[in-house]
Structure 1
């Protein structure tokens, strides 16, 4: 849908329809390919904390969305995934719109495995404000 009018916005809405909690941050998938995803979020009142910066948990939500969509297209079709854990470092106040950049290495088909997805949330200046590692539990799909 990338080349279509409103394609990125529509694709982002479909993801939020499938996983409604992500809709609370109004994310937009900017770039999406195996091994890498970039998802943005505007700084607006609904995602701010009491000091007017982007709320830490809103950025965790953004990081999880980036990691989840990335995992979905990066693992073999015979596998499925579920978030298992998240380690987060809050490095700096987020005073602007932010983008999550998620990366993952190659995932092999076969046995169940923990797959770490690294996510850096960056401000408009390109500075990392949050760093997260989201562990995905990747398992073979059940045979129908």
Structure 2
């Protein structure tokens, strides 16, 4: 059974501005994500793609996208794809940690992708690593994050 988040996405992605509406709904549920103005462009069980505009509000002192804004994009992607992938009837999840690599200056709009390999045999009290890759508009990888999600069985 799909998560409620994935059901909503499947229902509204076809509407005009459907991806924008869905992204706004995610930000309403977790308001801090709104600070980066994300747009989720694809969501399925095991995969998400999202975009983040390069704008002054997320810049650091040298005029590039701030490290924490990139972390925010990575956590958004990892959380939403985990929610869309973990079987909601039997398991729940929470972020546990994140390791990041800043590979290049992020000075354009950004595109992120996270993939959870499927099929997966979901266990109780397991850590899964959700890798998130972030690219600039030229397709150059500028950032990588490994987000650790703690998965537990519902009691």
Please give the TM-score of this superposition, normalised by the length of structure 2. Answer: 0.88
- Report the 3-state secondary structure (helix = DSSP H, G, I; strand = E; otherwise coil) of the residue aligned with 1:13: helix
Farther-moved stretch of structure 1 (62-71 vs 106-115): 106-115
CA distance in 2, matches of 1:136, 1:105: 14
CA contact under 8 A between 1:76 and 1:108: conserved in structure 2?
no
| Pairs aligned (count) | 142
Q: 2:117 aligns with which of 102, 105, 129?
A: 105
Name the structure 1 match of 2:5: none
Q: 1:81 aligns with which of 93, 111, 122?
A: 93
- Report the 3-state secondary structure (helix = DSSP H, G, I; strand = E; otherwise coil) of the residue aligned with 1:73: helix
Q: 1:47 aligns with which of 34, 58, 75?
A: 58
Q: What's the CA shift string for 1:83-140, capped at 9, x where partnerless?
A: 0010100000011000111111233234221010000010001111001100000111
Q: What is the deviation of 1:2?
A: 1.0
Farther-moved stretch of structure 1 (21-30 vs 108-117): 108-117
CA distance in 2, matches of 1:37, 1:14: 16
CA distance in 1, matches of 2:71, 2:96: 14
| Runs of 4+ with deviation above 2 angstroms | 106-110
Name the structure 2 match of 1:16: 27
Please give the TM-score of this superposition, normalised by the length of structure 1. Answer: 0.95
CA contact under 8 A between 2:123 and 2:151: conserved in structure 1?
no
CA distance in 2, matches of 1:75, 1:88: 23
Name the structure 2 match of 1:92: 104
Q: CA RMSD in A?
A: 1.0
CA distance in 2, matches of 1:87, 1:110: 23
Q: What is the deviation of 1:6?
A: 1.2
- The 5 A counterparts of 1:51-62 are 51-62=62-73
